[in-house]
């Protein structure tokens, strides 16, 4: 589940986990993702998580200190994965606009598959503000770096403030994803796996304008 090889220690004993322990920890974390996604942080309970994971209640506390602790672990884990998903989708892009398209595709794909991230982060302001900020800041940092690079290559409007733009773009993506992905459902109540292409393209036009990308400016010039 986690990308980075990391050695977890038992919060109870402080000792590194055995292979068996590692597997149990992963099952609990995966169950927590499901439960948090369905019920949100507050409605979720440790009992529900452990039931879904198929372990006993007490087992939870072998691996996590508290409900808040697993929330934090989950956010950090999901955050690493959504960024990886975005990075992968951006590979091969030759212009910033292609990178944006790829990045948002990766972001929305991940969101459709892992609604937990979304839902749980949005209600986390009072649960674990530091973790919530960490989540946003890690995304913004990478994003702003990408914009800065594009600026130095003359690919986007040099007047933009990369950090402000990054926050703006992330906010955009968050609400567009919420509205056109998570809230959307067909006549049978099924959730879509991706944003409707028309909407996605409309969003990309908005972004292209905002970044004043070369592609865009060429388009306008013609």
Partner DNA sequence: AATGAATGAGAATTCATTCAT
Partner DNA sequence: GATGAATGAATTCTCATTCAT
- Interface ranges with DNA (CB under 7 A): 10, 13, 15, 17-18, 20-21, 23-24, 43-47, 55-62, 66-68
Residues 150 and 207: their CA atoms lie apart, in Å, by 14
Tell the smallest beta-carbon distance from residue 172 to its own copies (Å).
4
Sequence-distant (6+) residues with CB within 8 A of 70 are 28, 29, 32, 49, 60, 64
* Chosen from DNA, its own copies, none, partner binding at 80 (C-beta under 5 to 8 Å by type): none
Q: According to CB under 8 A, which one of 22, 30, 34, 174 is a site residue for its own copies?
A: 174
Between 133 and 194, whose beta carbon lies closer to its own copies?
133
Q: According to CB under 8 A, which one of 167, 184, 192, 215 is a site residue for its own copies?
A: 167
- Nearest alpha-carbon partner for 103 in 113, 114, 115, 92: 92
Between 11 and 158, whose beta carbon lies closer to DNA?
11
Region near its own copies per CB under 8 A, out of 3-11, 87-95, 98-106, 174-182 = 174-182
Interface with its own copies, residue 75, by CB under 8 A: no
Interface with its own copies, residue 42, by CB under 8 A: yes
* Chosen from its own copies, DNA, none, partner binding at 21 (C-beta under 5 to 8 Å by type): DNA
Residues 104 and 30: their CA atoms lie apart, in Å, by 24
Interface with its own copies, residue 21, by CB under 8 A: no
Interface with its own copies, residue 145, by CB under 8 A: no
Annotate 39-69 with DSSP letters as a single string.
Answer: HHHHH--HHHHHHHHTS-HHHHHHH-SSHHH
Interface with its own copies, residue 159, by CB under 8 A: yes
Tell the smallest beta-carbon distance from residue 18 to DNA (Å).
3
Q: List interacting residues with its own copies (CB under 8 A).
A: 12-13, 39-40, 42-43, 47, 51, 119, 122-126, 133, 136, 157, 159-161, 164-165, 167-176, 179-180, 183, 198-199, 202-203, 205-207, 209-212, 217, 220
């Amino acid at each position: 589940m986690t990308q980075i090889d990391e050695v977890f220690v038992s919060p109870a004993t402080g000792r590194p986990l055995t292979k068996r322990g590692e597997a149990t920890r992963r099952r609990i974390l995966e169950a927590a993702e499901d439960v948090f996604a369905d019920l949100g942080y507050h409605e979720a309970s440790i009992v529900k998580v452990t039931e879904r994971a198929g372990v006993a209640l007490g087992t939870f506390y072998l691996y996590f200190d508290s409900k808040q602790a697993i929330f934090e672990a989950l956010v950090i884990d999901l955050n690493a994965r959504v960024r990886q998903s975005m990075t992968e989708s951006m590979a091969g892009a030759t212009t910033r606009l292609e990178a944006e398209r790829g990045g948002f595709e990766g972001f929305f794909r991940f969101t459709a598959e892992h609604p937990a991230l979304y839902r749980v982060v949005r209600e986390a302001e009072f649960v674990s503000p530091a973790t919530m900020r960490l989540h946003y800041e890690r995304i913004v940092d990478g994003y702003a770096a990408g914009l800065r690079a594009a600026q130095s290559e003359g690919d986007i409007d040099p007047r933009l403030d990369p950090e402000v733009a990054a926050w703006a773009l992330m906010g955009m993506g968050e609400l567009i994803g919420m509205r056109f992905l998570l809230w959307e459902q067909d006549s049978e109540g099924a959730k879509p796996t991706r944003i409707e292409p028309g909407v996605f393209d409309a969003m990309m036009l908005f972004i292209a304008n905002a970044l004043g990308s070369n592609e865009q400016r060429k388009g306008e010039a013609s």
